[in-house]
Amino acid sequence: MIEIDANNTLLSIRDLVVEYSSAGEVIHAVNGVSLELEKGRSLGLVGETGAGKTTIAKSILRILPSPQGRVKGGEILFCGEDILQRPESRMLEIRGEKISMIFQDPMTALNPTMTVGEQVAEVVRLHSDAGGADAQKVALRMLKRVGIMADRYHDYPYQLSGGMKQRVVIAMALVFKPELLLADEPTTALDVTIQAQILEVIRRYKNKFGTSMILITHDLGIVAENCDTVAVIYAGRIVEAGTRDDVFDKPAHPYTVGLFQSLPGYSKGQKRLRPIMGLPPDPRQAPAGCSFRPRCPRAKEGCGEADIPERVLSPTHSCRCLYPEVH
């Protein structure tokens, strides 16, 4: 694990294991993930669909679907407390107030039968003593801050564009200035112009209030602009982690290298994209050794023999590979 200032640590996840049950089968979603996040910093979680990124975020908030999803092992320390041991009755003290989440699809995150203003006001009432009129004032002020004018307070979600709905979700997530923001693909369904506006809203609030953030995305460009550190996830395990400069300038794991080679203009002189061949492993039965081995151009016989240990490349950079890229 990369070095981090323990006195400034906000979130520490240690050996997290999460499984889902479906039709009598066990799906291994997260397989021993460990990561650290300092106060006021941003961490980008990068990886293909199904890698376990959203499951990690939902585990932090303890909102895994029940009874299908369950944490089988590990710790999630928030401000030094293992929130996995906190009674459910006390999780409301954290959800929405200390830790908030921007969900990937705003249409499923919003209640279609309530006006958007009332939904923000409901969050205010749940986490404070504010009554009807006071909660409405707070909601109106928060909506204005994210670019939603007062005359849209009584609109329903279906009356708003995708970008405006996402702004409402952001207002709900940030109304209490949380210490940790979990942003799960917050701009996936938006066009490039609206995407930039949404990210600017998040960035402005984060900087103003010192909020820490875990940003889940497929877009490496968004990570480059918004994150201090990066964790690359494959088959439920972090295969490379480091500062933004470490991972972008000196990618070491073949999977990370493959992600960058799939991008236009990543390397000078590259005339064609080089996609990663094959598919991620079946989460019901991961291959022995390195999970990326069946797709890896550098794989050798020893890669399939046992779990691959973490290899420290520098005080801020590590990967799980027997034959990392040498820079």
**Structure-token pair, residue 105:** 């699809």
**Structure-token pair, residue 327:** 């820079």
Backbone angles phi, psi at 279, to 5 degrees: -130, 155
Question: In the CATH scheme, what architecture does the domain 6-98+178-319 have?
Answer: 3-Layer(aba) Sandwich (3.40)
Residues 251, 318: Cα–Cα separation, whole Å: 10
Query: What angle is formed at CA 86 by the lines to CA 70 and CA 98, rounded to 5 degrees?
Result: 100
Between the alpha carbon of residue 222 and those of residues 28, 43, 178, 226, 283, the distances in Å are: 28, 12, 22, 6, 27
Residues 299, 113: Cα–Cα separation, whole Å: 53
Domains of the chain by residue range: 6-98+178-319, 106-177
Q: Name the residue type at position 11.
A: L
Residue 275: predicted pLDDT: 83
Residues 203, 195: Cα–Cα separation, whole Å: 12
Range in 63-72, 116-125, 195-204 the model is least confident about: 195-204
Q: Is 254 helix (H, G, I), strand (E, B) or coil?
A: helix
Alpha carbons within 13 A on the beta-carbon side of 124: 22
Q: What is the pLDDT of residues 302-316, one digit of tens each?
A: 888 888 889 999 999
Task: Summarize the confidence of residues 32-50 as an average pLDDT.
Answer: 94
Task: Summarize the confidence of residues 240-249 as an average pLDDT.
Answer: 96
Q: Is 193 a residue whose pLDDT tops 60? A: yes
Q: Where are the beta strands (DSSP E) in 89-136?
A: 99-102
Task: Summarize the confidence of residues 3-17 as an average pLDDT.
Answer: 82
Q: What is the pLDDT of residues 63-105, one digit of tens each?
A: 999 899 999 999 999 999 999 999 988 888 888 889 999 988 8
Residues with Cβ within 8 Å of residue 195, at least 6 apart in sequence: 187
Of 217, 219, 243, the C-alpha closest to 230 is 243
Residues 101, 96: Cα–Cα separation, whole Å: 8
Residue 273: predicted pLDDT: 75
